[in-house]
Amino acid sequence: MSQSPDSSTPRIKIDFVSDVVCPWCAVGLNSLEQAIARVGDAVEVELHFQPFELNPQMAPEGENIDEHLAHKYGLGAQQLAQNREALRERGAAVGFQFNARDRIYNTFDAHRLLHWAAAEGAAQERTLKHALLKAYFTDGRDISQHDVLAAVAGETGLDADRARSLLASDEYADAVREQERFYQSQGIRAVPSVIINDRHLIQGGQPAEQFEAAIRQIAGLAPGG
């Protein structure tokens, strides 16, 4: 994220393990990026996105979001409403807009698309990640549908036709599953999980101040303001 670090600039690698239907992943990503911006050129940050499926067995048509959350977490209508308001507030604080969503979807194909975008370049992957989060949480689009995924890819400047042909095949399926298995083998059971230099784990949509403090400490910098 730093523009022109010199040879003395400390470098850190961050793996952001997440799912594109995870609301706290949207909060956590924007918060992490705020932290990286605050650190600025003092650290060279290499950010990678790693796949995690909240619901790998979900049917293609998805599920009603309220029914899904009630069944999975035992939440009633009042608790669901309170959680949504908390998310809206946290999202607004980091510049992300949550709107009402009716359904939750299978995300395996979205992760395949992100894997392809990563091969096109880190900037393309990051842009697509943000676009998919916005498509689902802000715009209420069905990001399990190939036409929607290809359209979102095209909107970010990627080749929509290439995206469509990729999605119609099994391309990158094995690679995504291998990455998912790896992080599961490392004990990742919840997201977002932020792993710094393959050693330091921060979980949840933490405030930017916490991410910034961790980056500074791991990079060997004094606490900053």
User: What's the average model confidence in pLDDT over 48-56?
Assistant: 97
Q: End-to-end CA distance of the chain: give it in Å, rounded.
A: 19
Q: How far is CA 78 from CA 70, 96, 103, 113, in A?
A: 11, 23, 18, 36
Kindly indicate the confidence band of residue 2, based on its pLDDT and cuts at 50, 70 and 90. very low
**For position 187, what pLDDT does the model report?**
96
Helix (H/G/I), strand (E/B), else coil: 7 = coil
**For position 6, what pLDDT does the model report?**
55
Helices (H), the chain: 23-39, 65-73, 77-93, 108-120, 122-133, 146-155, 160-167, 173-185, 208-219
What average pLDDT does the chain have? 94
One-letter identity of residue 182? F
**For position 60, what pLDDT does the model report?**
81
One-letter identity of residue 217? Q
Stated pTM of the model: 0.94
